[in-house]
């Protein structure tokens, strides 16, 4: 079986953003994947922009209307990290549509990856931290509404706590949010996931992987999800500009292989998104993100 990989060229749209480095990585990641050995093992899928009906399951009408028509005030735009534009709205709708397609492909094939996604700081009525639409939450709600899955486990291993996702599902017993993140990092005021593991600054490979191994198998066994959505942020890397942990390249690969291996052994479909990663060296950053897809090929 070829690994389903979701990508859309709209991710390369030039945006009037406050900080250039969060978005340029998508183009470079695709270039890395195109020239990597895993390319021949990939089935490339192209998503459409997410429907507004799907987004409305998660986000308030007031916020969504302001996002779509460009009436977000300056404070809201600063909180998002971006200056508003029509291209920006198109990009985030494509990204979210990509995560929905990744979930659908994972439920069909057992495993699928997005080349974007992981916008876990977006709340019901507000953008935050480079996240305007919470693609993980929208995909979770859509899968449940369509009857694709009833019980969903979100495994969020981005260096930042998935506060938006946690808040959106804090009263939903059939969605379990698990976040393992740096305690000292953004957001300053953490939300409350169903399970939070807050790591001390500077944690490296072995301690990190031990914490994961002591947690994930038990969650899969006790919660028994129909679907896992995995946020594989590489901002846990020791050279990341916005990360406080100290994983190596190999540590990230071991982490991704471990998550995929646990889910596949348990027979649980897993949909992976790339999450955060912030480095001015785009080649190094894209190489880190590409490790997710390279690891996934091993389990197809």
Render pLDDT for 186-208 as a digit per residue (tens, 0 to 9). Answer: 999 999 999 999 999 999 999 99
- What is the homologous superfamily of the domain 3-297 according to CATH? Histone deacetylase domain (3.40.800.20)
Least confident stretch, 32-41, 132-141, 171-180, 220-229: 32-41
Residue of 264, 266, 255 whose CA lies nearest to 291: 255
Confidence of residue 83 (pLDDT cuts 50, 70, 90): confident
Buried b (16+ CB within 10 A) or exposed e, 155-175: bbbbbbbbbbbbbbbeeeeeb
DSSP state of 289: H
pLDDT above 70 coverage of the chain, percent: 96
Query: How many residues are given for the chain?
Result: 300
- What lies within 8 Å, CB to CB, of 219 at 6+ separation is 153, 155, 176, 178, 195
Model pLDDT, residue 244: 95
pLDDT per position as a tens digit, 2-51: 999 999 887 776 554 444 455 689 999 999 999 998 888 999 999 999 99
Give 221-226's long-range contacts (Cβ < 8 A, gap of 24+): 221/266, 223/151, 223/153, 223/176, 224/151, 225/149, 225/151, 225/152, 225/153, 225/176, 225/268, 226/148, 226/149, 226/150, 226/151, 226/152, 226/268, 226/269
Stated pTM of the model: 0.96
Sign of CA dihedral 69, 72, 74, 80: negative
Per-residue pLDDT, averaged over 70-74, amounts to 90
């Amino acid at each position: 079986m070829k690994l389903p990989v979701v990508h859309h060229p709209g991710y390369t749209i030039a945006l009037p953003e406050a900080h250039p480095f969060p978005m340029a990585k998508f183009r470079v990641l695709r270039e890395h994947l195109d020239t990597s050995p895993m390319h021949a093992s990939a089935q490339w899928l192209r998503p459409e922009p997410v429907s507004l009906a799907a987004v409305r399951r998660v986000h308030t009408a007031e916020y969504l209307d302001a996002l779509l028509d460009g009436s977000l005030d300056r404070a809201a735009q600063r909180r998002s990290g971006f200056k508003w534009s029509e291209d920006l709205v198109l990009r985030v709708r494509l990204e979210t549509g990509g995560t929905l397609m990744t979930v659908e492909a994972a439920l069909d094939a057992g495993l699928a990856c997005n080349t974007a996604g992981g916008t876990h700081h977006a709340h019901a009525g507000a953008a935050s931290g480079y996240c305007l639409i919470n693609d993980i939450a929208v995909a979770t709600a859509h899968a449940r509404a369509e009857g694709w899955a009833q019980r969903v486990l979100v495994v969020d291993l981005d260096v930042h706590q998935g506060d938006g996702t946690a808040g959106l599902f804090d009263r939903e017993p059939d969605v379990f949010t698990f976040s393992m993140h740096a305690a000292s990092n953004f957001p300053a005021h953490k939300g409350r996931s169903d399970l939070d593991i807050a790591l001390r600054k500077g944690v490296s490979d072995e301690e990190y992987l031990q914490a994961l191994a002591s947690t994930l198998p038990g969650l899969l066994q006790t919660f028994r999800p129909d679907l896992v959505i995995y946020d594989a942020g590489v901002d846990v890397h020791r050279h990341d500009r916005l990360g406080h942990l100290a994983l190596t390249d190999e540590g990230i690969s071991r982490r991704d292989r471990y998550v995929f291996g646990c889910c596949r052994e348990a027979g649980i479909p897993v949909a992976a998104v790339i999450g955060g990663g912030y480095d001015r060296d785009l080649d190094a950053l894209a190489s880190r993100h590409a490790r997710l897809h390279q690891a996934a090929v091993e389990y197809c």
